[in-house]
Structure 1
Amino acid sequence: MSKVEQSTKLDLERIVFIGRTFEEYLDMFSLSKEELEGKKILDCPAGACSFTAVGNKSGLDVTACDIAYDHAGEALKNKGLQDIEHAMKHMRKAQNNYKWDYFRDIEGLRRNRLSALEECTTDMEKARGRYIPVTLPSLPFQNEEFEILLSAHFLFMYADRLDYQFHIDTLNELLRVTKEEVRIFPLVDLEGKRYEHLDQIKSYLTDSGFIIEEVKVPYEFQTNANSMLKIKKDKI
């Protein structure tokens, strides 16, 4: 087993393998396909999202990375199917914490999550090299290897288990491998509250010479999760 494999291996039962669709990504990050054309893009961490699969089919250059990708696609698909069903049961109890404009109802959400999982795992079998196993806050990429990096539903969301220093270390690494900008969605924790150290993080990034902007986006499923953080590498 290689050093990379040793560092990224995580028991499959500890991984939640659920993802969003390409269309959700465009809305979450307030992007159009045209804005991404000609760019080298990293989705980190990507989970079971279909952004890489659909993006590359559409002519984009997208790479995905995630701690889950050490496992075989078939195992991940089976885990994803289990996780979706578990999440839908939980959703019925917590649906008042969500807005149902985007998916209409739980069954619509379920179809969406299944579609993302199918696209992701099918593409993983065909183009495994696009799906890189990683363990944040370390990435196996060159400095400024990607123009744009998108990071969804990881940083800020898990404030109860990822401490402030982990956020700083991860942000520094995301910015290291990115040439133009990093976008992070959402800016709330699992309870829908604004990440408590967000202003401190913004000050740290501004002091480091980056251009920071909070942007409202045309997507809100979890209540209050309707903004992203845009970090531009252009020096002030």
Structure 2
Amino acid sequence: MSRDEKRNYLELDRIIFIGRTYEEYVMMFRLDSWDLQNKKILDCPAGACSFTARANELGIDVTACDIAYTHPSDDLKKKGLEDISYAMNGLSKAKHKYIWEYFRDVEHLKENRIEALTECVEDMKTNNNRYVPTNLPSLPFRDKTFDVTLSAHFLFMYSDRLDFTFHLNTIKELMRVTKEEIRIFPLVDLEGKRYTYLDEVIEFLTEAGSVVTEVKSDYEFHANAHSMLVIKV
């Protein structure tokens, strides 16, 4: 299948509502909370991550967006718990594809995923304005609304179902709403292979005037998923 024959949009029933913890975000994106204190941050797509909830508790202005946020928080928690259970069952059969350093074992991983999900949906109940529903590659924000945008475990990973055009249009949209910098993690697909068209993406961004670098992350769980793309808009 060619890159342009794949779907160019994301359907709700094809997503898994699972997220990472604040601590994972700090490591994967090499974040310094002090540097973020006076920034407006976008997490896109954020899924069931606890980054927005915990960051705002620390005085960091973070907005999360995701297609899933059109649904009530209680429904999302139920779906999230089901998705975590499903994912853990599958992961138990493929443990060799993962680096077991940050997480001790599957049960420890499951505890972290439930922690992230719980913090996310509880924050949604009291601070719903932080969680904006969106259907990529379109974003409901004005130009240059955010200083920094973070995008984890979505772009590049699902290249088997989201084509090159979708990736490029989504990155263009992230650039539209971002003033300073975009960080995308990781740079591999679900098989742990470098995204096939990453060089084409970098070439496009460079020609558009951005400064693009591949930066080693402090986090690796999925084998070979240890680098992020830093785009200076």
Normalising TM by the smaller chain, what interval? over 0.9
- Alignment partner, residue 34 of structure 1: 34
Per-residue deviation at 1:73?
Answer: 0.1
Q: Choose between structure 1 and 2 for higher RCO, CA contacts under 8 A separated by at least 6 residues.
A: 2
Per-residue deviation at 1:10?
Answer: 5.9
Q: Which runs of 5+ in 2 are unaligned?
A: 1-8
- Alignment partner, residue 109 of structure 1: 109
What is the aligned length? Answer: 225
Q: What SS class does the counterpart of residue 94 from structure 2 fall into?
A: helix
Q: Give the Cα separation in 2 of the matches to 1:122 and 1:112.
A: 15
Q: What SS class does the counterpart of residue 150 from structure 2 fall into?
A: strand
Q: Does the Cα contact within 8 Å between 2:10 and 2:162 map onto a contact in 1?
A: no
Q: Does the Cα contact within 8 Å between 2:10 and 2:136 map onto a contact in 1?
A: no
The 5 A counterparts of 1:1-236 are: 13-233=13-233
Q: Give the Cα separation in 2 of the matches to 1:177 and 1:60.
A: 18
Per-residue deviation at 1:36?
Answer: 1.1
Per-residue deviation at 1:35?
Answer: 1.7
| Backbone CA RMSD of aligned residues | 1.3
Residues 196-234 of structure 1 deviation map (CA, whole Å, 9 limit, x = unaligned):
00011101100100000000011000000000000001x
Q: TM-score, normalised by structure 2?
A: 0.94
Residues 181-201 of structure 1 deviation map (CA, whole Å, 9 limit, x = unaligned):
000000000000000000111
Q: Which deviates more, 34-43 or 183-192?
A: 34-43
Q: Which runs of 5+ in 1 are unaligned?
A: 1-7
Per-residue deviation at 1:15?
Answer: 3.2
Instruction: Give the ranges of 4+ consecutive aligned residues of structure 1 lying more than 6 Å apart after TM superposition.
Output: none
Q: What SS class does the counterpart of residue 84 from structure 1 fall into?
A: helix
Q: What SS class does the counterpart of residue 229 from structure 1 fall into?
A: strand
Residues 141-160 of structure 1 deviation map (CA, whole Å, 9 limit, x = unaligned):
01000000000011100111
Q: Give the Cα separation in 2 of the matches to 1:73 and 1:88.
A: 22
Q: Give the Cα separation in 1 of the matches to 2:10 and 2:165.
A: 23
Identity across matched positions, percent: 59
Which amino acid in 2 is paired with 1:206?
A: T
Per-residue deviation at 1:14?
Answer: 3.8
Q: Give the Cα separation in 1 of the matches to 2:106 and 2:35.
A: 32
Q: Give the Cα separation in 1 of the matches to 2:185 and 2:11.
A: 24
Query: Which structure has the highest helix share of the two?
Result: 1
